Amino acid sequence: MLNNLEKLRKKHKVSQQDFAQYLGVTRQTISSLENGRYNPSILLAMKIARYFGKSVEDVFIYTEEDDNDEK
């Protein structure tokens, strides 16, 4: 799944560490999310979107390729 997380985080001038602390996750989790190595839970995706004042769909981009990854 693609995402705009790093771009949004940098636009808001928040470090990975500070963002992770706000969300209650590790900095490594933020790094993995930004690099597409980890897909967030629904709750985490909603918290992230709410932090930026965006919809989940504005932060995380679902593609048809994501369907194929689950099969």
2-69 adopts what CATH topology? 434 Repressor (Amino-terminal Domain) (1.10.260)
Distance CA 20, CA 65 (A): 28
pLDDT in tens, 12-70: 999 999 999 999 999 999 999 999 999 999 999 999 999 999 999 999 998 877 666 65
Q: Indicate the domain borders of the chain.
A: 2-69
pLDDT attached to residue 26: 98
* Predicted model pTM: 0.86
Residue matched to tokens 């995706």: 45
Residue type, 40: P
Print the SS3 string covering the chain: CEECHHHHHHHCCCCHHHHHHHHCCCHHHHHHHHCCCCCCCHHHHHHHHHHHCCCHHHHEECCHHHHHHCC
